[in-house]
Each structure stands twice: as C-alpha cells, then as structure tokens.
Amino acid sequence: MAAENPAVRLVEKVGRGTVRALDEIGFAAVLMAESLYWLVAGRRKRQPVRVAAVFQQAREIGVDALPILSVLSFTIGVMLAIQGIYTLKAFGAESRVATGIALSVVREFSSLITGVLVAGRSGSALAARLGTMKINQEIDALTVMGIEPVRYLVAPPLVAMVVVVPALTMWAHLVALFGAGLYVTGELQISFGAYVSQVIEALRLADLAHGLAKSGIFAVLITLVGVVNGALVSGGAEGVGRITTRSVVHAISAIVITDMIFAFAVTR
C-alpha cells in the first residue's frame, strides 16, 4: 500500500532501499564464501576452478588494460609533478617535490586510477556478461548440466582480479613515477638519476604495501559488485544496460569510499 503522506512515503522508500542494499551485500558475501569454498574444495568435489579460465580472465582484465592504463598513469604522474611544483613554489621548496609525488602515487593515485579503470573496463563487462547469460537462460543451462555456476563464473574472475589488479597497480606506479620524473627533471634541471634516488629515499615498504593492499580490496569489490549486479538483472536487454551502468557507478563509489576509510584507519 502506497502511503499518501509524502514524509511516510520517503521513509518507506529509504527503508526499501536499505533492505535491498543489505540484501545485495548479503548476496555478495555468499558469493564470496562460495567462491572460496570451490577454490579450496572444488577439486575434491569434482568441481574444480579451471586454471585456464583464470588465465583467460587475467588476460582480459590485465594485459588488455595495459595500454590505456599506461597512458592514464603517465598523465597522472605529469599532472602531479606540475601541481606539486606549483604548490611547493609557494614555500620555495620545489626541490622536495619528488617526495610528494612518490608518496601520492604509491599510496594513493596508482591504486585509485587502476581501480577506477578496471571497474569501468572489466567490472562492467563482468556484469554485462553475467546479465546476458542470465537472460539467455545460460546460467540455468549450467545449473542443469551439473556445473556449479559460482565456481564456473564467479571464482575465476575473482582470482584473476585479486592477482591482476595489484600487478597493474605496480605497473601504474612505475609509469606514473616515470612520467613525473620526465617533467621534474626538465623543470628543475636535475638529473633523472637524482630524481630516482630521491623517490627511492622517500618510499618505505609500508607505503608500497599500503597501495597494494588497497588495490587487492578494490579487486574484490569490483568483482563482487559486477557479479551481484549481473546476477540480479531483470527486464531483458534494457535491464542489462541498466545493471552495467549501475555496476560501474557502484564499483567506483565503493572504491572511493573504501579508499578513504582505509587511509583513515591505517594512516592515523
């Protein structure tokens, strides 16, 4: 029964939205648990997670993303160098810019830009693929063939993401720092070797771990958001379009919010 009172309607809407969100989070947790179960126990139960499927996913998520990721991280590196020098000029401290760039890239920007890129490229593709399969009864077909859909469709991309996203983040570190270095050495008239040693001096292992740990979490978030949206599709081809958009928006929001929480919890 729809209430007449707008205030009551608003409360009802918020309530329904909350229930739905909790429902989806619960579903994501179940998918995660089942994927881990099949990864560990699959071979004994004659439902193995195929290595070939993981590699194929890893190629699609990782290798195919390298060109665009390189362009983006290079650009981010140059951008950070420009802004860093501009900011530090106010204090006459532009010679310390390498420290700022190194920490920003390694702790924050690489994992964030990689996460956003993978969410846009592969999270959405995952949602669209699962959504289309659901609509074409392909997931039913897997079930009735005795092929467990979670182990066949969810576990391989989950493993691939968790391995590949941190690896991509490492690559983004290198490219972004290289791009920043090109600008800094030109602008400040220092040698590239001096820049590199400043960067290495600025970084501790903990900074690297901070960025990589985050990217691992992002990988799980992107996969789960993609598969949950794909599995909950309804309404034909239009529905697939809707959940694809929804999964990108959700994944990027989840990444940004998690990033903040992680930084807050770990850095202080």
Partner 1 sequence: MSGAAPTIEVERLVAHYGQREVLRGVDLTVAEGEIMVIMGGSGSGKSTLLNHLLGLLRPTSGTVRLLGHDINRLPALELLDLRRRIGVAFQSGALFSSLTVAENIMLPLREHTDLDEKTMAIIARLKLEVVSLSGFGALMPSELSGGMIKRAALARAIVMDPKLLFCDEPTAGLDPVVSSSIDELILRLRDAMGMTTVVVTHDLDSAFRIADRICVLEDGRIIAMGGKEEIRGSRNGRVQNLLNRRSEEVTLDPEAYLRRLIGEG
Based on the shown chain and the rule CB under 8 A, indicate whether residue 234 belongs to the binding site for partner 1. Answer: no
Based on the shown chain and the rule CB under 8 A, indicate whether residue 36 belongs to the binding site for partner 1. Answer: no
Based on the shown chain and the rule CB under 8 A, indicate whether residue 46 belongs to the binding site for partner 1. Answer: yes
Instruction: Output 145 or 261, the one with its CB closest to partner 1.
Output: 145
Residue carrying structure tokens 């004994």: 44
Cα 18 from Cα 224, distance rounded (Å): 18
Shortest Å, Cβ 49 to partner 1: 11
Based on the shown chain and the rule CB under 8 A, indicate whether residue 133 belongs to the binding site for partner 1. Answer: yes
Cα 102 from Cα 108, distance rounded (Å): 10
Based on the shown chain and the rule CB under 8 A, indicate whether residue 144 belongs to the binding site for partner 1. Answer: yes
Q: Which listed residue (13, 43, 45, 204) binds partner 1 by CB under 8 A?
A: 45
Cα 225 from Cα 221, distance rounded (Å): 6
Binding positions for partner 1, 190-219, rule CB under 8 A:
none
Label residue 211 exposed, middle or buried (CB < 10 Å: 0-12, 13-18, 19+).
buried
Interface mask (CB under 8 A) for partner 1, residues 146-165, using x and -? xxx---x-------------
Instruction: Output 143 or 197, the one with its CB closest to partner 1.
Output: 143
Based on the shown chain and the rule CB under 8 A, indicate whether residue 12 belongs to the binding site for partner 1. Answer: no
CA angle 254, 260, 261 (to 5 degrees): 85
Q: Name which of 222, 206, 124, 211 is nearest 171 in CA terms.
A: 211
Q: With contacts defined by CB under 8 A, how many residues of the chain interact with partner 1?
A: 18
Cα 120 from Cα 150, distance rounded (Å): 22
Whether 62 contacts 159, CB under 8 Å: no
Based on the shown chain and the rule CB under 8 A, indicate whether residue 13 belongs to the binding site for partner 1. Answer: no
Summarize as ranges the residues that interact with partner 1 (CB under 8 A).
45-47, 129, 132-133, 136-138, 140-141, 143-148, 152
